[in-house]
Structure 1
Amino acid sequence: MTASERIARLILRRNRLWLALLLAVLAGLAAGLPRLEVSSDNRAFFGRENEEYRQLLALDATYADSSGLLFLMVPPEGTAFEPAALEALRRFTDAAWQIPYVLRVDSAANQSVSRAEGDEIIVEPLLEEVTPEAAARFEERLMGLEEAVGRLVAEDGSAYGMSVQVVLPEAEGTTEEVVGHVRAMIEDWRADYPGWEFRVTGGMLGGLTLEQVALDDLLRLVPASAAIVLLLLVFLMRTLVGAAVTLAVVLSGTVATLGFAGWTGVVLTAGTAISPLSVTVLITASSIHVMLSWMRKREAAGPDAAAEEALAENLGAVTVTNLTTAFGFLCLNFSESPPLRDMGNIIAFGLMVGLAATFVMLPAGLRFDRREHAGRIPISAALMERLAGGILRRWRWWLWGFPLAVVVALTGIARIGYDDSIYRYFDDRYEFRRAADAITEKLSGLESMQFSFHAPEGANVFDPEFLRAIDRFSAWLEDQPEVVSVSSIAAILKRLNESMNGGDAAFRTIPDSREANAQLMMFYEFSLPVGMDLTSTIDVSRTQTRLIASLRVADSNETRALADAAEAWLAENEPLLDAPASGLSVAFARLSQRNNQQMLLGLGAVLILISGTMVVTLRSVKYGAISLAPNLVPAVLAFGLWGWTFRDVNLGSTVVTTMTFGIVVDDTVHFLMHYLRRKRAGLDAAAALRDTFSVVGAAIVITTLALMAGFAVMTLSGFVINQHIGALTVFVVGFAVLADLLFLPALLYAFRGKD
């Protein structure tokens, strides 16, 4: 009696004991479910050691910390500067001051302008009384303000923008309070001004949308995936009992995954909430191998004996496949992003509990099914054996066809770029994304790049040479095609100096003394509307100042390239400034690239772990090496196809190769273990391959269909990271079944005489 047979007998003869222990463990894990939390923090994707994250914290500590809301208000076409529209704009601005915890409201309706009259500087509101004459004057002045165009008014004058800053106390629920007030306010506007279009976006709304996506995926897609996989299982395997028992096994893995997250303090995000879906699909794949083996055994034995034999036959292969899959997910710990690391850990844990449930629950449940099913399976052993014969007749085609396909795929991989934007992480089913697209179209881009400049020792931000260096850098930035506008104190001081000198453009320069610059800035601060100050631009010690460039970029490749170019330009031309590019857009752009580099280490680790496991399992270095080829090829083909079709990848895409390597090994393990058993029993290579196809071929096809159907559900997520993971995994698994059924047999046949 083999070790697998002894273990199978022990499991089934003490089944009630093992079942009680398993249920006790699941009950303990389920107690962690109430501890689960869902994060609405878009910075959760950054580790505390992340350089860009530390830069964001430094900006928060240096300048006024507030959360922003950006409104878009589009009046009926051609009416933006009519008195009625301007009265409405005033009303919108006044209403914004009623938002809870508001610090500042910045709109075209509350801007001031300055002009010189003799020795006096006159400050007056941009929008005075609302008359046809005043409206015409307002249009002329507003469209002439560089800092307003593209931010407070569209370049073509067809829409208005309004920026609102709020300071949230640490009390729980304040974000929801602010967002609820804003949404109610907009609904009132829509009711009172039916011809207008209103949109709003901002960090708070993005965070709540992240939370909503996580809940949507957890509560909708995870059950949908389980239902689809189980329906597919019923259709292909014709067993309601098997489907019911598989559902129990799947629920065990799901409870384990989420319970483990609750007990270990893993906060669910839009990236981790989908984890139970992966566990559901992968556990189902293991169950399919055991069930198909049981169906074959039922033709010659009773249900009890068939269950024991099926478990013994699959014990080793199912254990190895779950371990290799867990290795793949555990190697996500090489990722730079905490949610991806968390996802790998909780899925790996769920798989191990699911493995135990597969061995304890599934054979016990199948013993209650008294019917024979093998003859009903659409993918018959005879069909798979005929397929094996066709493959063996043309084995050289497949042996050379796959390497050729890899070469073609590499050209597609060369086309791949990165696109990581917090706004484009959501699809247009969410208002946050629709608002972002509308605001980007009408006003400036929502992406930004920030630089915090520190004045030289002994100086302050009003030092003329320091300001001129900022001005030269601003001019360089403004010349870049991705830059919409640049905001800095240098631009403010130049405009003020021009106003102080009668509007003479010759004086649009930085004054020559610190004192003059300080006086101008003090005058500017006094002229700001109520609620506005300089703390978002200059620190309290007056030794640091922030420059913000608004961007309109196609993807994060452009953001990252611009950040690199700006830093290089500063190092070469203005070493006095010496500041890194910062901001959330830059942080996400660089995170994806660095995460890809880290995941190469993860892929190396998983290759070593799985290769070692395969060598030990197969008891052959040769076959361990052969097993790598059909498992590396699918990821290359998948990313090559992606490069030729969708092209851009994101943070989630970078983990797919490491994650799926353990998944695609599963069918290779079952194929090779059965093939080697037959060869070691005395069959030649051709006969062993035909027998392997007839015995495990149907299981490979059905598990592949289940995996593809399950992960395809991820593409229905509103979160683009999950969409990419789902779609790429479907591609990888699809190519994997082709590699296992075409390329692997060709390799084995090519090396048939070299044991």
Structure 2
Amino acid sequence: MVLKKYVDFVTRHFKGVLLFMFIATAIFSYYSRYLTIDASAETLLLENDADLKLTREVHGRYISPDYLVIAFSPKEPMLSDATLTAIKSFKKDLLKIESVESVTSLLDVPLLQSPPMEISEVVKNVRTLSSADINYTQAQKELTTSPLYANNLVSSDFKTTAITVNLKEDAKYTELLSKRNAFLDLKDKRALNGKEKKEYEVAKKAFKAYVDSTKDDTHKLIEEVRSVLDPYRQSGELHLGGVMMIADDMISFVKDDIAIYGTAILVIMILMLWVIFRQVRFVVLPIVISFSAVVMTAGIIALIGLEVTVVSSNFVAMQLITTLSLVIHLIVSYREEYALFPRYSQKELIEITLKRMSVPSVFIVLTSVAGFVSLMTCDILPIIDLGTMMNIGVTVSLVAAYLIFPSVMMLLPKKEPVYIFDKAFTLNKKFAYIVENHGKKILLTVVAILAFSYYGVTKLIVENSFINYFKEDTEIYKGMQEIDSNLGGTTPLEIIVKFPDTQEKNNPSSENTQEGDELSEFAEEFEEDENNAQYWFTDEKRQTILKVHDYLESIPEIGNVSSLGTLYKAGRILKEGEDFDGLEMALMYNELPLEYKKILLLPYVNTDNNEARFVARIMDSNSELRRDALLKKIKQELQTEVGLDPENFKLVGMMVLYNNMLQSLFDSQISTLGLALLLLGGMFLFLFRSLKVAMVALTVNLVPISVIFGIMGVMNIPLDIMSITIASIALGITVDNTIHYYYRFREELQSDGDYLASMHRAHSTIAFGMFYYSIATIVGFLVLVTSNFIPTLIFGLLTVIVLLVAIVSDLLFSPYLVLLFKPFGTKK
């Protein structure tokens, strides 16, 4: 009844329907301009992650600004006048940028051994490379051998130096974030009352509005920094790095790929549609409908406030696949009806086409929605958003296809289709022949494929390496590699060690009875206030700090480690093997000028909280790096090797947060995949009213997922934040084909009850649409393998593999199982 009303309405009022769709597309096209791509660090974090809350608390206690890193490899010697002048000059230019708080270079760091001096002298007269009477030979030796600077500020060969651009804290962002998070913390403890709910909504909207208003600021800042550096590239190689830059460049790569490869895919699909159909109407219609569907979806998503993140960045490609499938099946069905009933009017042909294809198409979309609903059951916002986007997308695709296609066809005069490609295309008949005559070979092949997939799945790794997102000849890769290899690593890992509170405070000045008179005077001043830092730097703490520091340095995946242990080790060089005692450390803590204290002490110790901080930088380019395993190893060995109690240390920082997100994504995919299969089984059962059909369909749909994970494992392609959605894509493509084929097979079976004959007829009809849609999409997505952005390349490659496996599974393995088990029953 509903179907008849829809068909009557769209064929009678096609001009009004077309006008409505044109207006809707135009309106949503306007709002689609406000759809934003956000690949910032915040989108890669779990907002309800306890480690995120802890990281924010830690960063509030320490000098820990956001920063960019510049790797400079000058053409002239490092300490030559030309190089030092260049560093001084672009430091001056960098400081002119509004968002830059300070710039730390080798010109600014305190030199403790050039020449060696007593600490009491150092704090009164801190020397740097900018000092008038500095000895460059001594300075070079200190910079390349001191634990403070070697393989951190400068490379071991003294040919590369790091320049850190520290950014101003966004006080308003911090304030708004704190207000919002206060309500989130309260929600975790109890339900909010009416007043609190209103205040929470106000705080949430204020934070979102501010974030949106400053979204482009990071990109503008990075572009400003790059423009400052450009004139100095004649002085040597300059590479920009840092987590902020990586996130921003990812956005740029995604946007460029959408512009370049979106156009390329469009052109290639137009060519393929022309090759297949040889008529302008059947080339233009799929493109117009796909464009309308994607634009309307983008507008709706923008209107409801969703943002495209790294996790959901492939939603356009996924919707394009769905839309093309719907439209190409409509075209093939129309052409099939024309061949059967050439004397029918255009209206009659369209009515038959819509009546035949509407029901399976609706069930395809409902099944897809059921699958994507499973994504919305997890607690990870980017995954929930992806599920929402795809549910909106497939629904809009169905509406666009089944309103625009019949309306445009009603406007066009009836014209005989061109069947040149159809007559030359014989793969469908060959597949039918293989199903009929080589069933056992199909089964053995599937078993072999599943065995291969099982082996591959055992090799599958869940990993996320930003450096491997880019090709080796790209500027960002070179910069990350330079910083990773020569300047101590890329991604920061922070360890916070809390020291047990003690009732008695030991005066560390007694540790060394050979201090000079001047140190004694400092000690007397300190003793006037029992809360002074001299009581904090005890021998026991020093030993613990050095033990943790040495352990972290022993890990191959870690590059540079910075902590109080670094300063203690520098002291051993300065004091010819002896450690700084507590009084000397307290002297530096209290008397060192603030600008140097920010470099040597404040990032690594908080006496008020009785804790020390270690910043280890991970070698992101290490091919053996397994982040989750490394973090678990460190947690375990800090207890077993170092002897820390688990309650007295915490791992925080970007590496922990990214890893938490990745592991949560993986866990959610496993759980949601199981739920998706359960929901799909229910949909198959509802559609075909047969448990046997549902079981066969699910078996067929598992093949592409198994194959894709198997290939990823064998080819060492990690399951990361960019490829985590491939299972959803694989499932969506296969479900689409399975429903189309089974629905048509059942229809053919009703005529004579002959399974074998029905299989041949289904292959001679619906298989054309399945093949044509797969061919057009495969050739279009192959262009993605030329991208410089590795996730785009891998996504294109995996999508092509999924399409190939899906069509083979649905037209070989699926009909073989149908012939074997006869799930549709037999004619009585």
Other-structure match for 1:414? 458
1:290 is aligned, of 330, 345, 348, to: 330
For the residues of structure 2 that align with 1:50 and 1:120, how far apart are their CA atoms? 45
SS of equivalent residue, structure 1 residue 147: coil
**Could you tell me how far apart the structure 2 residues matched to 1:21 and 1:346 are?**
23
Partner of 1:103: 101
State the alpha-carbon separation in 2 of the partners of residues 3 and 175 from structure 1: 52
Counterparts of 1:440 and 1:717, CA distance in 2: 24
Label 1:616 to 1:527 Cα distance change in 2 as closer, same or farther (>3 A). closer
| Counterpart in the other structure of 1:473 | 548
Q: Provide the residue aligned with 1:396 in structure 2.
A: 440
Deviations 1:227-249 (A, max 9, x none): 33233122112221122222221
- 1:371-408 deviations in whole A, cap 9, x for unaligned? 21252233668763354123311111102320221012
Shift of 1:678: 1.9
Which of 366, 376, 396 is matched with 2:420 structurally? 376
Instruction: Give the C-alpha shift of residue 569 in structure 1.
Output: 2.1
1:181 Cα offset (Å): 3.6
Name the residue aligned to 1:491. 566
Matches within 5 A, 1:444-463: 444-457=488-501, 462-463=537-538
Check the 8 A contact 2:778/2:803 in 1, yes or no.
yes
Give the alignment partner of residue 127 of structure 1, picking from 126, 129, 137. Answer: 129
The verdict on how the C-alpha distance between 1:320 and 1:334 changes in structure 2, with shifts beyond 3 A counting, is: same
Work out whether residues 52 and 657 of structure 2, in 8 Å CA contact, stay in contact via their aligned partners in 1.
yes
* Gap change, CA 1:709 and 1:340, over 3 Å in 2: farther
Q: Do 2:39 and 2:250's aligned partners in 1 also have CA atoms closer than 8 Å?
A: yes
Structure 2-normalised TM-score? Answer: 0.82
Contact 1:271–1:722 under 8 Å retained in 2: no
Distance 1:576 1:531 in 2: 29
Describe the superposition over 1:15-44 as per-residue Cα deviations: whole angstroms up to 9, x where unpaired. 345445545544553453243333352221
Aligned residue runs from structure 1 range 34-113, under 5 A? 34-39=33-38, 41-76=40-75, 79-113=77-111
Cα offsets for 1:499-524 (capped at 9, x unmatched): 4xxx230x226x3x5x664234334x
Q: Secondary structure at the match of 1:200?
A: strand
Other-structure match for 1:701: 771
SS of residue matched to 2:652: coil
Deviation at 1:474, TM superposition (A): 1.3
CA distance in structure 1 between the aligned counterparts of 2:117 and 2:29, rounded to whole angstroms: 75
Q: Distance in 2 between matches of 1:89 and 1:721?
A: 36
State the Cα distance separating 1:427 from its structure 2 match: 4.2
Q: How does 1:657-676 map to 2 (within 5 A)?
A: 657-676=727-746
Residues 65-88 of structure 1: CA deviation (Å, up to 9, x unaligned): 5221211111237x3344543444
- Residues in 2 aligned to 1:379 and 1:283: alpha-carbon distance in whole angstroms: 26
d(CA) in 1 for partners of 2:74, 2:19: 67
Q: Aligned match of 2:476 in 428, 432, 439?
A: 432
Q: Distance in 1 between matches of 2:379 and 2:722?
A: 11
- Residue 476 of structure 1 aligns with an amino acid whose one-letter code is Y
| Distance in 2 (alpha carbons) for counterparts of 1:204 and 1:56 | 17
Judged with a 3 Å threshold, the aligned counterparts in structure 2 of structure 1 residues 456 and 734 are, in CA distance, closer, same or farther, namely same
Q: Which amino acid aligns with 2:307?
A: V
Consecutive unaligned residues in structure 1, runs of 5 or more: none
| C-alpha distance in structure 1 between counterparts of 2:326 and 2:424, whole Å | 19
Question: How far apart in 1 are the matches of 2:32 and 2:295?
Answer: 8
2:205 aligned with 1:137: no
What 5-or-longer segments of structure 2 have no aligned partner? Answer: 173-212, 504-532
CA contact (8 A) 1:493 1:520 kept: no
- Size of the aligned set, in residue pairs, is 741
Q: Is 1:639 equivalent to 2:682 in the alignment?
A: no
Q: 1:48 to 1:251 in 2, by over 3 A?
A: same
Given the alignment, which residue of 603, 607, 623 partners 2:673? Answer: 603
Q: Which residue of 2 aligns with 1:364?
A: 407
SS in 1 for 2:333: helix
Corresponding letter in the other structure for 1:645: M
Higher deviation after alignment, 667-676 or 61-70: 61-70
- Specify the alignment match of 1:326 in structure 2: 369
Q: Which residue of 2 aligns with 1:541?
A: 608
Hey, what's the Cα distance between the residues in 2 that align with 1:312 and 1:566? 63
CA-based RMSD = 3.1
Shift of 1:268: 2.8
- Quote the Cα distance in structure 2 between the aligned partners of 1:387 and 1:497: 76
Matches within 5 A, 1:438-587: 438-457=482-501, 462-493=537-568, 495-496=570-571, 499=574, 503-505=575-577, 507-508=578-579, 511=581, 517-523=585-591, 525-526=592-593, 528-529=595-596, 532=599, 534-539=601-606, 541=608, 543-553=610-620, 554=622, 557-572=625-640, 573-575=643-645, 578-587=648-657
- What is the distance in 2 between the residues matched to 1:36 and 1:280? 17
Q: Give, as a single letter, the amino acid of the residue that structure 1 aligns with 2:121.
A: I
CA contact (8 A) 1:210 1:269 kept: no
Q: For the Cα contact (< 8 Å) 1:151–1:161, is it kept in 2?
A: yes
Question: Given that residues 148 and 566 in structure 2 are in contact (C-alpha distance below 8 angstroms), is that contact kept between their aligned partners in structure 1?
Answer: no
DSSP 3-state at the match of 2:63? coil
Instruction: Call closer, same or farther: CA 1:542–1:96 in 2, change over 3 Å.
Output: farther
Q: In 2, distance between residues paired with 1:631 and 1:313? A: 24
Match of 2:391 in 1: 348
Report the counterpart of residue 195 of structure 2 in structure 1: none
User: In structure 2, what residue type is equivalent to 1:475?
Assistant: D
TM-superposed deviation, 1:54: 2.8
Query: What is the one-letter code of the residue matched to 1:617?
Result: L
CA 265–118 in structure 1, closer or farther in 2 if over 3 Å, else same? closer
TM-score (norm 1): 0.90
Report if aligned partners of 1:226, 1:281 keep a CA contact under 8 Å in 2.
no
Work out whether residues 108 and 162 of structure 1, in 8 Å CA contact, stay in contact via their aligned partners in 2. yes
Instruction: Name the CA distance, whole Å, in 2 between partners of 1:644 and 1:216.
Output: 30
Quote the residue 1:248 is aligned against. Answer: 288
1:221 to 238, 261, 265: 261
Matched residue of 2:612: which SS? Answer: strand
CA distance in 2 between partners of 1:356 and 1:120 (Å): 78
Give CA-to-partner distance per residue, 1:494-547, whole Å, 9 cap, x none: 544774xxx230x226x3x5x664234334x33854975744333483534321
CA deviations 1:80-132 (Å, max 9, x no partner) are 3445434444445455444434333322222222366579534452436799x
Classify 1:52/1:379 alpha carbon distance in 2 versus 1 (closer, same or farther; 3 Å): farther
Q: 1:320 is matched by which residue type in structure 2?
A: F
Q: 1:176 to 1:629 in 2, by over 3 A?
A: closer
CA distance in 1, matches of 2:86, 2:430: 76
In the superposition, relative to structure 1, how do residues 198 and 335 fare at CA in structure 2: closer, same or farther (>3 Å)?
farther
Q: Is the 8 A contact 2:310 2:721 kept in 1?
A: no
Percent sequence identity over aligned pairs: 19
Larger displacement relative to structure 2 (562-571 or 164-173) = 164-173
Separation (CA, whole Å) in 2 of partners of 1:125 and 1:99: 27
Stretch moving more, 361-370 or 351-360: 361-370
> How far 1:694 sits from its partner (Å)?
0.4
Contact 1:65–1:167, Cα closer than 8 Å, also in 2: no
Alpha-carbon displacement from aligned partner over 1:339-379 (angstroms, at most 9, x marks no partner): 34323322321221110121111122224153212522336
User: 1:201, CA displacement in angstroms?
Assistant: 1.5
3-state SS in 1 of match to 2:107: helix
Rounded to whole Å, the distance in 2 between the matches of 1:522 and 1:665 is 68
Give the Cα–Cα distance (whole angstroms) in 2 for the partners of residues 216 and 200 of structure 1. 20
- Give the match's secondary structure for 1:418: coil
Question: Is 1:478–1:486's contact at 8 Å kept on the other side of the alignment?
Answer: yes
* Matching residue of 2:521: none
CA distance in 2, matches of 1:119, 1:540: 20
SS at match of 1:456: coil
